[in-house]
Amino acid sequence: MKTILAVDDSATMREMVTFVLESAGYRVIEAEDGAQGLDRATATNVDLVITDQNMPNMDGLTLVRSLRELRDYKSVPILLLTTESSDSMKSQGRAAGATGWLVKPFDPATLLEVVQKVLR
């Protein structure tokens, strides 16, 4: 079973992502900000990280950069799931090493399609 780390400061959003992923058979670990996400990712190797951008303590892009510096996370897919949709933010995400960018509110079926694709 693949393990996915879901990072978001909104408990509702984490719950939505977790439900959708668990209903499709994935195991989900949650974190409420980038700093906690980094802790969780270093404590348990996960197969995919899905993170929000705007969060207290550590934002999503900083989390992506921090994870990419770790040997275990050089090639693990990382998706940004955020309300930010500007091209400049997406470019920053790409430069930081993110695998993809999804704009909230997400469509569950689309999220599952993307997850399957990046985990392949």
DSSP strand pairing (100-103 vs 48-51): unpaired
| Residue 76: DSSP 8-state | S
Could you say whether residue 84 binds another protein (CB under 8 A)? Answer: yes
Give the C-alpha separation, 18 to 78, whole Å.
16
Site string for another protein, 39-78 (x = CB under 8 A): ---------------x------------------------
Q: Which is nearer to another protein, 69 or 105 (CB)?
A: 105
Stretch that binds another protein, among 30-38, 39-47, 67-75, 103-111 (CB under 8 A): 103-111
φ, ψ for residue 26 (rounded to 5)? Answer: -90, 155
Could you say whether residue 94 binds another protein (CB under 8 A)? Answer: yes
Q: Are 4 and 21 in contact (CB under 8 A)?
A: yes
Could you tell me which residues are beta bridge partners of residue 4?
28, 48
Binding residues (CB under 8 A) for another protein: these are 10, 12-13, 15-16, 19-20, 22-23, 54, 83-85, 90, 93-94, 98-110, 114, 117-118
